[in-house]
Structure 1
């Protein structure tokens, strides 16, 4: 399928176009897309026009946005979206009681991908959002997923961070002792890894009571949570068990 001067396939070029969009840059001109992707302007214009005709992009006077066709296809078939839909009532229950950020995350590559999040006006400002990503070790949600990943993946993650980042992930956070502690106690609580004085608490979600497929977490600046996480953990675990019944009882 390599039919471009650079050897890129059509699919690779489409992926490059879609990857230019983000929450901060949801509307881009074809010229800006060409600049960000490195595609020739004529090629970028043609791809954007064709993608808009298919509904993958939406054409507006000021440029292009990601179209509803992709949203429709993703919600209809992607396993992560099905998980988010089934988990949403339980996130809502936790959110109503806690009044803080409540989020659902899965491992995607070497990061945690947040497939859903509910926030409150009083909650602290934090990094990321729905469809946002973070290194696994910097959030409690991600650290729960890392702790329950295979030994081979945990080794890969440490090696990856040493290779691709100037500063390796703090050894005390991703040490086997720390990850074993998370597995044994059934939750992760950590403060100040990204935002100072902000605490994350998270618990695992299992498929049919066995393998961990997601993590449910809350993020707050309530000082009492760092000192006494047990009530928050209990509520998250009740919600996690409800989600587990949803995803294990239906296919």
Structure 2
């Protein structure tokens, strides 16, 4: 694609525009979008018109810009997550009904936890996860379970990139990883919200490495924690089996 005077390609600029939106900033003005995407104002107005015409962005009567529905359509055609979500949903519904708490399906993507499905539950505890949202590996049971069951070279690479952060929050990192692998699940108290505990069990492939993770958040100190861990492990094995992987991998 043609480069701009600054040397970045058109694709680079389009990705920066889309990346400017997140769960905390779902809409913004054109000028704010130009600043966040680091694109000149005149160029931003031109690109905005094109992206709106293709449904990639939407512009309201108040001038606020949001992501367009076309992106949702494209994302839901993704073969990478479609089969996983289809296999996981029946098990997620059972967990959701059994525990009475929001239930998430997530995977590790670009050194963050990416939420690909969530089932809500009225009256459940505070839960920061949202579909298409990202959460930090080191502060979530989802992230720690995914990391513990990653390939050794993936764990090593992650540590190399985030060593200071991980060792600051998890000084006994290797012991924690070993315990998660031994138990088959991860639990973390109060890292995101002080009054809650996250519980997560990995969905494994034939070699025993994590494809994704199933998780819930329960009240901190809840007597349901052992039952939640058991239910998640059982459901995770069922999802692995539904995907064609051995239940005892």
Structure 1 counterpart of 2:40: 40
Distance in 1 (CA, whole Å) between partners of 2:188 and 2:33 is 39
TM-score, normalization by structure 2: 0.88
Given that residues 28 and 65 in structure 2 are in contact (C-alpha distance below 8 angstroms), is that contact kept between their aligned partners in structure 1?
A: yes
Structure 2 counterpart of 1:229: 225
Given that residues 218 and 225 in structure 2 are in contact (C-alpha distance below 8 angstroms), is that contact kept between their aligned partners in structure 1?
A: no
Distance in 1 (CA, whole Å) between partners of 2:171 and 2:134 is 21
Question: Quick one: structure 1 residues 166 and 220, their matched pair in 2 at CA, closer, same or farther if it must change by over 3 Å?
Answer: closer
Structure 1 unaligned blocks of 5 or more? none
Query: Is the counterpart of residue 76 in structure 1 residue 72 in structure 2?
Result: no
Distance in 2 (CA, whole Å) between partners of 1:166 and 1:93 is 34
1:87-98 correspondence runs (5 A): 87-98=88-99
Structure 2 unaligned blocks of 5 or more? none
Distance in 1 (CA, whole Å) between partners of 2:132 and 2:17 is 17
1:74-95, Cα deviation, whole Å (9 max, x unpaired): 1112412442233122211111
Distance in 1 (CA, whole Å) between partners of 2:50 and 2:38 is 18
SS in 1 for 2:76: helix
SS in 2 for 1:224: coil
Deviation at 1:166, TM superposition (A): 10
Deviation at 1:123, TM superposition (A): 2.0
Deviation at 1:182, TM superposition (A): 0.9
Structure 1 counterpart of 2:29: 29
Structure 2 counterpart of 1:15: 15
1:186-237, Cα deviation, whole Å (9 max, x unpaired): 1112212222131111111123474320111111115234xx6332222112
Distance in 2 (CA, whole Å) between partners of 1:192 and 1:38 is 36
Question: Quick one: structure 1 residues 134 and 231, their matched pair in 2 at CA, closer, same or farther if it must change by over 3 Å?
Answer: same
Distance in 2 (CA, whole Å) between partners of 1:179 and 1:247 is 25
Structure 2 counterpart of 1:185: 183
Deviation at 1:118, TM superposition (A): 2.0
Structure 1 counterpart of 2:162: 161
Distance in 2 (CA, whole Å) between partners of 1:107 and 1:239 is 19
SS in 2 for 1:86: helix
Distance in 2 (CA, whole Å) between partners of 1:55 and 1:170 is 43
Aligned residue pairs total: 244
Structure 1 counterpart of 2:66: 65
What's the C-alpha RMSD, in Å, of the aligned pairs? 2.2
Given that residues 106 and 113 in structure 1 are in contact (C-alpha distance below 8 angstroms), is that contact kept between their aligned partners in structure 2?
A: yes
SS in 2 for 1:149: coil
TM-score, normalization by structure 1: 0.88
Structure 1 counterpart of 2:237: 241
Distance in 1 (CA, whole Å) between partners of 2:24 and 2:148 is 31
